[in-house]
Amino acid sequence: MTPLPAPGARRAGDGPATRGPEEEPMAARTSAPTVERAA
H/E run at residue 35? helix 24-38
pTM: 0.13
Residue 36 confidence class, pLDDT cut points 50, 70, 90: low
Residue type, 7: P
5-35 pLDDT, tens per residue?
A: 556 545 545 555 555 555 555 545 555 555 5
Show me where the domains of the chain are located. Answer: 9-38
Alpha-carbon 22 to chain mean position: 12
User: Residue 39 and residue 37: Cα distance in Å, rounded?
Assistant: 5
How high is the pLDDT of residue 9?
Answer: 47
